[in-house]
Chains A and B, each alone.
Chain A
Amino acid sequence: MAKSTVGSTPKLNLLDDIGMILFRGDLKSKTLQNAIVEATGVKVPVRGKISTEDKTSIAWMSPDELLLILPLERVGELIEDLNHKMGKEDTLIWDISDLRSVFEIEGNFIREVLAKNTPIDLNRDKMRKGTFRRTRFGQIAVAFWFESETKWFMICRRSEAEYAQQLFEVSSKPGEIPSVF
Chain B
Amino acid sequence: MLKLVCPYCGIEADETELVSGGEAHLKREGPDSTDDDFEGYLFLRENPKGVILERWRHAMGCGKWFHVARCTVTQEVFGTYPAQTFKPPPRIMEEIKSRRTGQENGLNSDKAEKFS
**Which residues of A line the B interface, CB within 8 A?**
47-48, 61-63, 65, 119-120, 133-136, 141
Contacts and interface: CB of A to CB of B under 8 A. Distances in A.
B59 A134 contact: no
Contact of B60 (A61, A63, A141): A141
B40 interface: no
Interface in B1-39: 8-11, 13-14, 16-17
Interface stretch (B61-69, B89-97, B107-115): B61-69
Contacts of B16: 119, 136
Given A62-B8, A134-B60, A141-B60, 14 more contacts: A47-B10, A48-B9, A61-B62, A63-B62, A119-B14, A119-B16, A120-B14, A134-B9, A134-B61, A135-B13, A135-B17, A135-B61, A136-B60, A141-B59
Contacts, number: 35
B17 A119 contact: yes
Given A119-B17, A136-B17, A63 B10 contact: no
5 contacts: A47-B10, A48-B9, A63-B62, A135-B17, A141-B61
Interface of B: 8-11, 13-14, 16-17, 59-64
A167 to B, nearest CB: 15
Among A65, A133, A134, A135, the one with the most B-chain Cβ atoms within 10 Å of its Cβ is A134
Contacts of B59: 141
A135 B60 contact: yes
Of B10, B13, B14, B61, most A-chain CB atoms within 10 Å: B61
Contacts of B9: 47-48, 62, 134
